């Protein structure tokens, strides 16, 4: 659906789609089976501007808008959810936090390297004991003169072991309410005490780097603080709003990729002497997927447009993320059904799309959390 895309956005969509088909699709299955982060693709992503989508040109980025961000993630996800997750999290979370709330010195230090692919960005909020209750984090940062000492553990961190830096949320004021005593810090890879303590084995997005991080008396200067003291969680909520647009776009890409595969297979596969695409049962599954994905696309690009206009979009981002993620899972499941027994094998990409799509219902706020957010906007205005 190209209902609201400018000529520049149309060109971007074609460029990224061609790149994904040529440079990603042929290797996605292998990367998934090896559960290996494909470092070799990073320079190619950077050369296309996909690691600095929203970073201003003055800092070496492409200086694109939120709509472009969604397009890039969606087109990569059509062929590989893992790499789409890398692009989404690198741009939206790690670099996004510095772009939105970092000092000028931090922007000059981190953003050019992030855009060039020299440093991938990680973002550490979730902990083993705090998932949906994100403000319940227990990692601490204690001030020691002009430094801070960070201790704690983070879980499910994308780019946690391959990133060049990580933005970490830590509690700095135990006396304040949960949402008012948190501060963000940027920690360089290799800082003493900062380690990737465990690589996680996952259902899907298996070539995306996902780890547990440990902070053992990690000492950073006050210049590593991102934003104001005790204001980090409020900033985080704004980061998550834009991030939810990218997860909705990722879900769209996975859903459309599975639908494309199902249409192709239905036309080619013959049973009872004719293509299965001629059977009403198959047609209805394809029709349902197309209708739901197009509706999800409308929601997603409405949220992106609102963000680009500088208008409130928190509710719209949650609606897009909720509907797109669940519609994508349904579309992927139907695609496997269309493929029959072959869909259950790794010979066809639809099983990988289904595995990859599930994270879209969990990451950056579960479907249940999105419903809470939407209801809160409705009831409280």
Q: What is the pLDDT along the chain (381 residues), one digit of tens a residue?
A: 445 689 999 999 999 999 999 999 999 999 999 999 999 999 999 999 999 999 999 999 999 999 999 999 999 999 999 999 999 999 999 999 999 999 999 999 999 999 999 999 999 999 999 988 888 899 999 999 999 999 999 999 999 999 999 999 999 999 888 889 999 999 999 999 999 988 999 999 999 999 999 999 999 999 999 999 999 999 999 999 999 999 999 999 999 999 999 999 999 999 999 999 999 999 999 999 999 999 999 999 999 999 999 999 999 999 999 999 999 999 999 999 999 999 999 999 999 999 999 999 999 999 999 999 999 999 997
- Residue 108's contacts (CB-CB under 8 Å, 6 or more residues apart) are 59
Catalytic residues: 364
Quickly list H helices, the chain: 7-19, 25-34, 42-47, 66-77, 81-89, 95-101, 104-115, 232-268, 280-308, 314-339, 350-357, 367-380
Per the listing, tokens 């292998």 go with: 30
The C-alpha atoms of residue 126 and residue 325 are separated, in whole angstroms, by 20
Burial class of 234 by CB neighbour count within 10 A (0 to 12, 13 to 18, 19+): middle
């Amino acid at each position: 659906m190209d209902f609201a895309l400018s000529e520049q956005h149309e060109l971007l969509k074609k460029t990224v789609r061609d790149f994904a088909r040529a440079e990603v699709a042929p290797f996605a299955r292998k990367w998934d089976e090896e559960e290996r982060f494909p470092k070799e693709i990073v320079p190619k992503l950077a050369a296309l501007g996909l690691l600095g989508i929203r970073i201003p040109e003055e800092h070496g980025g492409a200086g694109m808008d939120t709509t472009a961000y969604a397009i890039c993630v969606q087109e990569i996800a059509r062929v590989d959810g893992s790499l789409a997750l890398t692009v989404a999290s690198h741009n939206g979370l790690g670099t996004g936090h510095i772009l939105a709330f970092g000092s000028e010195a931090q922007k000059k230090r981190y953003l050019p390297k992030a855009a060039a692919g020299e440093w991938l960005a990680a973002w550490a909020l979730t902990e083993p004991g705090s998932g949906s209750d994100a403000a319940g984090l227990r990692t601490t940062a204690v001030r020691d003169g002009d430094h801070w000492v960070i201790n704690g553990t983070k879980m499910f961190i994308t780019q946690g072991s391959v990133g060049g830096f990580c933005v970490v949320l830590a509690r700095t004021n135990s006396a304040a309410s949960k949402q008012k005593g948190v501060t963000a810090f940027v920690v360089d890879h290799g800082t003493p005490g900062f380690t990737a303590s465990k690589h996680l084995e996952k259902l899907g997005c298996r070539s995306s780097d996902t780890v547990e991080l440990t902070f053992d008396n990690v000492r950073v200067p006050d210049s590593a603080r991102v934003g104001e003291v005790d204001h980090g969680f409020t900033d985080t909520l704004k980061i998550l709003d834009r991030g939810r647009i990218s997860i909705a776009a990722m879900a769209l890409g996975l859903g459309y990729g599975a639908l494309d595969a199902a249409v192709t297979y239905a036309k080619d596969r013959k049973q009872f002497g004719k293509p299965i695409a001629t059977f009403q049962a198959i047609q209805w599954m394809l029709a349902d997927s197309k209708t739901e994905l197009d509706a999800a696309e409308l929601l997603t690009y409405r949220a992106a447009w609102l963000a680009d206009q500088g208008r409130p979009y928190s509710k719209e981002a949650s609606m897009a993320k909720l509907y797109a993620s669940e519609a994508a899972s349904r579309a992927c499941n139907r695609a496997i059904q269309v493929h029959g027994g072959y869909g259950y094998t790794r010979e066809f990409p639809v099983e990988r799309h289904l595995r990859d799509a599930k994270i879209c219902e969990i990451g950056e706020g579960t479907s249940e959390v999105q419903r809470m957010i939407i209801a809160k906007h409705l009831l409280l205005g």
